[in-house]
Every structure is written in C-alpha cells, then in structure tokens.
Amino acid sequence: MAKRIILGAVALLLVIAAAYASFFVAPTERTMGDIQRIFYFHVGSAWAAMDAFFVCFIANLLYVWKRQQKYDSLAVSCAEVGLVLTTVVLITGPIWAKPVWGIYWTWDARLTSTFVLWLLYISYLLLRSLIEEADRRALLSALFGIFAFIDVPLVFFSIRWWRTQHPAPVIMGGSGSGLDPTMNKVFFFSVFAMHVLAAFLIVERYVLEQMRHDIELLQREAEA
Amino acid sequence: MKNLGSVFAAYLIGWSVFFLFYITIAKRTSDLRSEIERLKNSLPRGK
Amino acid sequence: MSLFSNTATLLGKELRTEFRSRELLTTTVIFILVVLILFSFAISPTAEESREFGPGLLWLAILFAASLMLQPCFLREQTNDTLSSLRLAVSDPFSIFLAKLIANTLFLLLTEILMLPLFAAFYNIPILPQLHYLLLVLFLGSLGVSVAGTALSAISAQARMRELLLPLLLLPLLTPVLVVSATVSVSLLDREPVVQWKGIAFLAIFDLIFLTALWLFGEYLLEE
C-alpha cells in the first residue's frame, strides 16, 4: 500500500517536472513556435500507450498459457490505461495540428493506425463487458487481444504504403532526428514521466481488478 | 508566444483525462473495500 | 494426414449444408447488390468517379456483407450443441476452423463472382481485360476476411449482442485488407491498368499471418 502511494507521488512529481521542463527548459522551436511544446506531452503519451498495449499483449499470451487470474487483471488494466493514453494522444494531436498544418486531421499512416488502435481496444473492452462468466471472458478477450495486437503493424504498413498519394504534412521527425540536445533531454524525460504515470495507473487498476475478483469468490462462498 | 493557449489547453485536457480516470478507479476501489468488509462480516454468521 | 481428411469431411458437410438451402448465398448476393445501389444513390458518381471509387465501394460492400454472412458460422453449431460432437470427432481442432474458413472463402468468392457482371454494368467498369488478376485479388482479400471472420465469429458467438459485436470486432481488424484490396483493385481497373504485386504480396502475407495465429490459438477458441 505504501509502495503504491510512493509510486503515485513520484509519478505526480515527474509529470509536473516534465511539464515545467517542456515550458521553461526546452528552447522554442524555430519553425512552429511554442505550439511545438505539445510534442513532449503528446509523443510521451503515445509511446507509453504502445508499451501499455505491448504489456497487455504479453499478459494475454500468459493468460492463455497459464490461466492465472492475475494475467487477466493485468491485461485489462493495461488495455484501459493504454486506451486512456491513446485518447489523450488523439485529443492533443489535432490541437497541435490545427495551428501547424491548418487541418485537424489527416489520414496518414500514424494517425490512422492510432485511430484504428483506439477502435480495436474499445472493442476489446466492449467484448469483455458482453461476457459474464469470468473465465470465459478472460480467455476470449485474451484471444481477441492477441489478434488485435498482431493486426496493428499490418494496419500501419498498409496505410503507409498505399495511402501516401494524399499530400502528407511533414510531421516533425521523431526524437533524435536532428533534435536540439536540450529538446532531446526534455523529450526523453517526458517519455519517462509518462511511463511512470502509466505504471502507477496500471497498478491502481490492477489492484481494483484483483479486488473485484476476490469479491466474486467471497460472494460465492457467502451464498454456499 | 502565440498558440501558447493551445499548449496550455492540451496539457490541461490531458491531465484532466488522467485525473478523471484515476478518480473513477479510486472511487470504485473504496466502494469495493466497504463491500468486502460487509461480506467478511456476513460470513461467520452464515457458517 | 488426418488433418486433411478431417478437414475434407467437414468441408463437405459445410458445403452440403449451405447448398441445401442456399439461403446464405442468396441473401449475401442481394445484400451486396443493395449496398452498391445505395452507394450510387448517395453519391451519384460521374463516369470518372465511378471508375475511381467503384472498386473501393465494392470492397466496402463485401466487408459489410461478410460481417453479416459470418454470423451463423458458429451460431448454428450452438442450437444443437453440435460443436462438442465436432470436437470429439476430430483429432485436430484446427480442421474445424480450416473447413469453415475454406467454406466461407468459397461462399464469399461465389457471391463476388455473381456480383461482378452487375458491378461492371452499374459502375461502367470493364472487368474482362484484367479478370484473372481481379479474381486473384478477390481470392486473397476474401481469404483474409474469412480467416479473421471465422476466428472472430467463434469469439462473438459466446458473447451477448453477438449480431452487433461481430462487425465491431471484425471491421477495424480488417482495415489492412480493405485498404490494400481496394487500392490494388482501383489500379487494376484503371484506364491504364497496373498490377500492384506488392499489394498482392501484402494480402498473401496478411492471410498467412492470421492463418498461423488461428492454427496456434484455434483450439482455445473452441474450449468449453
């Protein structure tokens, strides 16, 4: 319990520090100006989301193999947190895009894949809500989760290779592609902060899910 | 200095989303905790 | 080679069941037809636009039709619990999936071939010159739809609201198939046709990946 509070406090501090760094430490970008500062928050969330979904994928595999409740709890926690992070990505992206490209949205590879990813994990949670029996729900959602995750690179490459006839706005190259060293440090610090925040949220959600499972067992005992 | 408002908006919206998510978890956790207590108390009586 | 003989027997059963009533085939053909007609009411394309958008709309119609056509796939096994008998009868559960997905691919292909002349007429697109390549794309795309659809149909059959759930699970997952099949078909039916071999290869790889996933995880989909 104490560890969770410490994790939460650390996450909060890191996020505040990262925001401070994004506003006051990082230099202003030459071409875009201050709007570029969204980049640290936006891309940090995106990377944390991908890692959350990756852990979800591993948890799905582990559940199918070992059938232990903890893997199912971990999977749903990662999926929800990943979805929350992706939602933030999909909101902050257009806020960044409008002043810079003049449009809120475009159907390029990265945006479209992010949106399809969002849809797939919404379906994952929806599927879970429509199966009542716990073991069945865990198994079937794990299998769908596996199929969904395998699909993600296929979605990305299919759009990247076959939808580039639209004039793609030049997205600022990812970190390291000629980024100013201070910006680089702020960027990686932001990525780190978002990961710690994600970890904290996943832990909290995991504890909740395990508790729900315990309650079900207790209820069954009480009825017996 | 232009567009700084959008940056603030983005950060604020992002943080609210995370905060809201955390609040819903915390609330459900405390609800469940009281439910567990209630169930634990009803067990010895039943048995 | 009991996988082969099991699959062959089950495939025969699937085909016989369908050809007895042919209800699935007829309804699917009519559905695609209706969707294509509705598209032209909604958009009222010019001759040039028809050529540009037609194939994409055809694939969209195929996807919608498939997400309906695949519903009974595992649902009909639930009425008399024939699934448990099937599982006992075969040595490898993958043969059940293989038989169903081959049958589904054949049904889809059949409806598409029946639709082609009407599609060509309504959208004023000559299909004969590139027919062999078109059939190849139809085959690979339909195979992809079938593999993913058969797997997801096994999942959704065990959940509530399965009629709405299957399209919701399937359509985002099939984004790569839609994008690539539509693009390859458009360039195939263009005034100066081009065969996009990269696209055809991509579809084949998509099919292979999901076929492998189904082979690895199929038995868990059928668990009691």
pLDDT reading at A168 higher than 60: no
3-state class (DSSP) for residue A174? coil
A34 within a domain of the structure (yes/no)? no
CB contact under 8 Å between A38 and B7, yes or no, is yes
Report the complex ipTM.
0.92
Among C169, C176, C202, the residue with its CB nearest the CB of A123 is C169
For chain A, list the contacting chains (3+ Cβ pairs, <8 Å).
Answer: B, C
Q: Does the beta carbon of A163 lie under 8 angstroms from any beta carbon of chain C?
A: yes
A24 within a domain of the structure (yes/no)? no
pLDDT > 90 in chain C, percent: 57
Instruction: Answer yes or no: are the C-beta atoms of A97 and A168 closer than 8 Å.
Output: no
Mutation pick from A215, A216, A217, A220 vs chain B, by most beta carbons of B within 10 Å, is A215
Q: Does the beta carbon of B34 lie under 8 angstroms from any beta carbon of chain A?
A: no
Cα of B20 to nearest chain A Cα, Å = 10
Choice among A176-180, B9-13, C20-24 with the minimum mean pLDDT: A176-180
Of the candidates C143, C110, C142, C116, the one whose C-alpha atom is nearest the C-alpha of residue C131 is C116
| Cβ-Cβ contacts under 8 Å, C199 against chain A | 162
Q: Does the beta carbon of B41 lie under 8 angstroms from any beta carbon of chain A?
A: no
Mutation pick from B20, B25, B35 vs chain A, by most beta carbons of A within 10 Å, is B25
Which residues numbered 7-26 in B keep a CB inside 8 Å of some CB on A?
7, 9-11, 13-15, 17-18, 21-22, 25-26
Q: How far apart are CA A158 and CA A150, in angstroms?
A: 13
Q: Which domain holds residue C61?
A: 2-221
Q: Which domain holds residue A114?
A: 2-19+41-223
| Cβ-Cβ contacts under 8 Å, A208 against chain B | 25, 28-29, 32
CB contact under 8 Å between C160 and A159, yes or no, is no
Cα of C70 to nearest chain A Cα, Å = 16
* C199 CB-near residues (< 8 Å, 6+ apart): A162, C137, C180, C181, C183, C184
Q: How far apart are CA B37 and CA C135, in angstroms?
A: 65
A54 within a domain of the structure (yes/no)? yes
In tens, the pLDDT along B3-38 reads: 788 888 999 999 999 999 999 999 999 999 888 888
Mutation pick from A140, A141, A166 vs chain C, by most beta carbons of C within 10 Å, is A140
Cα of A87 to nearest chain C Cα, Å = 17
A32 within a domain of the structure (yes/no)? no
In tens, the pLDDT along C56-87 reads: 999 999 999 999 999 988 888 887 788 888 88
Of the candidates C198, C196, C192, C175, the one whose C-alpha atom is nearest the C-alpha of residue C133 is C196
Residue of A nearest to C178 (CA): A158
Q: Does the beta carbon of B46 lie under 8 angstroms from any beta carbon of chain A?
A: yes
For chain C, list the contacting chains (3+ Cβ pairs, <8 Å).
Answer: A
Check contact C-B (3+ Cβ pairs < 8 Å): no
A170 confidence band (pLDDT: 50, 70, 90): very low
In tens, the pLDDT along A56-87 reads: 999 999 999 999 999 999 999 999 999 999 99
Rounded to 5 degrees, what are φ and ψ at A169? -60, 140
Mutation pick from A83, A111, A154 vs chain C, by most beta carbons of C within 10 Å, is A154
**Number of domains chain A contains:** 1
Q: Does the beta carbon of A150 lie under 8 angstroms from any beta carbon of chain B?
A: no
CB contact under 8 Å between B29 and A208, yes or no, is yes
Q: How far apart are CA C64 and CA A89, in angstroms?
A: 29
**Number of domains chain C contains:** 1
In tens, the pLDDT along C126-171 reads: 888 889 999 999 999 999 999 999 999 999 999 988 889 999 999 9
Q: How far apart are CA C71 and CA A123, in angstroms?
A: 17
3-state class (DSSP) for residue A176? coil
Give the pLDDT score at B45.
62
Q: What global pTM score does this model have?
A: 0.91
| Cβ-Cβ contacts under 8 Å, B42 against chain A | 222
Q: How far apart are CA C66 and CA C25, in angstroms?
A: 11
